[in-house]
Amino acid sequence: MQGIKKVGLFFLMAISIVVAGVTFETTAQAAGNDVGYSVSAKIPKNQINKNNSFFDLRMKSGQTQTLQVRIYNVTNKDIQVKTAIHTAWTNSGGSVEYVKPAKSFDSSLRYKMSDITKIQGKKTITIPAAGSKVVTATVKMPKTSFNGVILGGWYFKRVDNKVTGTVKGADNIRNEYTYVVGMKYTKGQVPNPNMKLGKVAAGLSYKRRGVIADLRNPTAVMIPKLKINSTITNRDGGSVVKKDANKNVLMAPNTVYNYPMLYGETPLKAGHYHLHMVAKNSDHEWVFDRDFTITQAQANKYNHDSIENPGISIWLLIALGALGMLILVLLILLIIYLIRRRRRDKKDEDGDK
């Protein structure tokens, strides 16, 4: 039970008023009146914790329920707000992602939040000046023996953003203000968490090279406050190639954490390697060992595609530049010498005459 309370606390910290995401704006500006709108969930009777501002609901098999969120417009003109239901997943930063929809889902995920919760009516709503509107979604829980947590978020984005500046030769800069109201449905007895190690291979994470290990949470429960320590050794010689540590990882139910162990300025090298990993929190610990191989083709590709690829060394560029200047000076001196020699020869010819 203590572990479940910790999960609820982390969920509250991650969700309660998420995000004013702003393009080319400071945090202080985003927190001001420029946002122009806010959202508020109407908390139903089956809320587990009435103090939470997100939907934290106790659900039953086959249950149908209507959920409502009110959007407030604090400006003196009409605005438009786009809304959608997203299924939560674990991003490569080790956090639960609610704003961006996932490109793919783990095979253990039985029920997506976006499948069992549907917005009623239009997905883009016009909110009158200094007014508000209620948006409704219908939940239809599956009629199965499923037990655990289904996690997601109700996403809101203002889409009539004004142009705030002009950059010569580029597109106009626009503000983007988004909110997410968390959605957490709990049915039956929450299972004990489990973790599995999937694929381990060389790759890129946000254009940075390294080894990526797929950590899977195949259970319908969040796994909070994970500490992960990893060591990669060379199987041919046993030497340590890379050590990595990560902490405060929060994994969403039934998702994969593509855990990046980034090499930085060190290039990937072809070879046979071994990964030893320990992932733990205050309640559980998992230990993984896995052999993997980096081929020469993979090393070449990811080293080349990485933004850390130095390409031509800066010192080589300096040397080439210096060599170019030297050649230019020598050419100028040669031209001056030839011009003077030609004048002298001409003068001697005139004297002979």
Domain ranges of the chain: 2-187, 196-305, 312-353
The model carries a pTM of 0.76
pLDDT at 245 (0 to 100):
96
Whether 196-305 and 2-187 are alike in CATH topology: the answer is: yes
**Is pLDDT at 297 greater than 80 in this prediction?**
yes
How far the first Cα of the chain sits from its last, in Å, is 116
When pLDDT is averaged across residues 77-106 and rounded to a whole number, the result is 95
250: tokens are 């929060």
Q: Tell me the C-alpha distance between 338 and 317, whole Å.
A: 31
Are the C-beta atoms of 108 and 116 separated by less than 8 Å? no
Q: Tell me the C-alpha distance between 228 and 157, whole Å.
A: 34
pLDDT, tens digit, for every residue of 127-179? 999 999 999 999 999 999 999 999 999 999 999 755 443 444 444 445 678 99
When pLDDT is averaged across residues 204-209 and rounded to a whole number, the result is 94
Closest C-alpha among 187, 194, 191, 185 to residue 215: 194
Beta strands 55-59 and 178-187 are parallel
pLDDT at 282 (0 to 100):
93
pLDDT, tens digit, for every residue of 328-348? 888 888 888 888 887 777 776
Q: Tell me the C-alpha distance between 265 and 242, whole Å.
A: 12
Closest C-alpha among 174, 75, 83 to residue 129: 75
CATH of domain 2-187: 2.60.40.10
- Quote the radius of gyration of the chain (alpha carbons, Å): 30
CATH 3.40.50.300 given to domain 196-305? no
**Is pLDDT at 316 greater than 90 in this prediction?**
no
Q: Tell me the C-alpha distance between 4 and 194, whole Å.
A: 14
Give Cα 226 distance to the centre of its chain: 18
**Is pLDDT at 79 greater than 90 in this prediction?**
yes
When pLDDT is averaged across residues 314-321 and rounded to a whole number, the result is 60
Q: Tell me the C-alpha distance between 253 and 251, whole Å.
A: 7
Are the C-beta atoms of 96 and 250 separated by less than 8 Å? yes
